[in-house]
Structure 1
Amino acid sequence: MSDQRPTDELREEHAHVLKKLDALERIVTHPDKRPETTAELRTLATFFQTEFWVHFTKEEEALFPEMGKYTLVGKGPLGIMLREHVELRASNELWQAAVAGYLSNTDGSEFIAPMKGNATHFAWMLRDHINKEDNSLFVMAEQWLKPIEKQNVARLFIEIEAKESAAVKQT
């Protein structure tokens, strides 16, 4: 096992996601540059449709249950994070639908406003969520979890990533 804390791994993933959000916001605010940004938009849509959700799985199936030994999972900070996960999934679905419409139509102009609006909402909500996790929730995890519990979380992260990688290979 690595000496890295599981929360450090999640923070690194957050930093990667924030860069993706910067790119997303840049693209959707310049729909006039469609020919230059189509490939990047497809890549971002794929990332936020697949790879990104492994992060939520790691939190929901590994970190949050361990933290749940010290606080209620459905209430307080963990409850808020779980509700926000649901809201972020719904927001992403709306954005994905708008992107699909935009990319599948030659003109795509009717999808520009919903794509931009949904992307902006998704990005704002996700940035706020990441801030709460990085600056509050993960601090609590670092204080509460014993070394053995952190090791368990790290082991589960590896299992989750392996399972997700195997699922991607099957598709």
Structure 2
Amino acid sequence: MSPRKDERSRLITLHPEINIGRLAAEYPLATKVFARHGIDFCCGGGRPLREVCREQDLNADEILEEIGRETAQKTASAERWDHAPLGDLIIHILAAYHRPLDEELPRLEALSRRVLEVHRDKQPEMLSELVSVYAGLKADLEDHMGKEEEILFPMIRQGQGMMADGPIAMMEEEHELAGAALKRLRELTNGYQVPEEACNSWRALWQGLAWLEESLHQHIHLENNILFPRALEE
């Protein structure tokens, strides 16, 4: 299904001073453009597009035009969550992000340790640090998701979001830490460029970490830019 004409024109007239998080919330396919250009739309969602583009030597107007082209080609799979019931959004976060991580986090840890064991002689410092950074990220994410599922999400579902400013602030701080770990993993892997000497396990690890980065960016965006602000208001 193609977007209505008024939706396209509303996007084109958006000003570059609009916050990245708002753009990502109202136009989900904008996240593809942000990821393409290395623009942080999850933890950095509260910053104006123009400011971020200036820092990264990007043209804000060109970025908006690119978002417009993506939006004009969108399909029904580009789902918006900024007006969905909060309970439905929580169900989506659990199904699309939390439950897959239950399986993927241990798998990637096992892969990372296997690659280090077999290829330690090739890139010992990089692989050792990667295992360490990933193990810390995994432990933090598992603890983080547990607190969301046991404390924060039930509060929001019960209509107590306005009283959850403390837990939400803690979750946002932990999102920042996860973002820093993802950034370090990207640096260590040279943007997940597979080395020539890589075996199948090494390739699978790089692919899995790239998926993790993309998934967590979307995951954190939905919480920081949509779920948490709406919960605090309602």
> Which category describes the TM-score, using the shorter chain as reference length?
0.5 to 0.7
Give the aligned partner of residue 121 of structure 1: 173
Q: How does 1:8-157 map to 2 (within 5 A)?
A: 22=42, 36-69=85-118, 70=120, 71=124, 76-110=129-163, 112-137=164-189, 142-143=194-195, 145-150=197-202, 153=204
Aligned Cα root-mean-square deviation (Å)? 4.2
- Residue 82 of structure 1 and its aligned partner are, at CA, apart by 0.7
CA distance in 1, matches of 2:84, 2:191: 43
CA distance in 2, matches of 1:149, 1:100: 36
SS in 2 for 1:68: helix
CA distance in 2, matches of 1:35, 1:47: 16
CA distance in 2, matches of 1:143, 1:115: 41
1:47/1:119 CA distance change after superposition, 3 Å: farther
**TM-score scaled to structure 1, two decimals?**
0.53
- Residue 124 of structure 1 and its aligned partner are, at CA, apart by 1.2
Q: Which runs of 5+ in 2 are unaligned?
A: 1-34, 36-40, 47-81, 209-234
CA distance in 2, matches of 1:80, 1:22: 20
**TM-score scaled to structure 2, two decimals?**
0.41
Q: Which has the larger radius of gyration?
A: 2
Assess if the C-alpha contact under 8 Å between 1:92 and 1:118 holds in 2: no
Q: Which runs of 5+ in 1 are unaligned?
A: 1-14, 16-20, 27-32, 158-171
* Aligned residue type for 1:124: E
Task: Name the structure with the higher helix share.
Answer: 1
- Residue 88 of structure 1 and its aligned partner are, at CA, apart by 2.3
CA distance in 1, matches of 2:137, 2:196: 22
1:65/1:22 CA distance change after superposition, 3 Å: same
Does 1 or 2 have the higher relative contact order (CA < 8 Å, sep 6+)?
1
- Paired residues, what number? 130
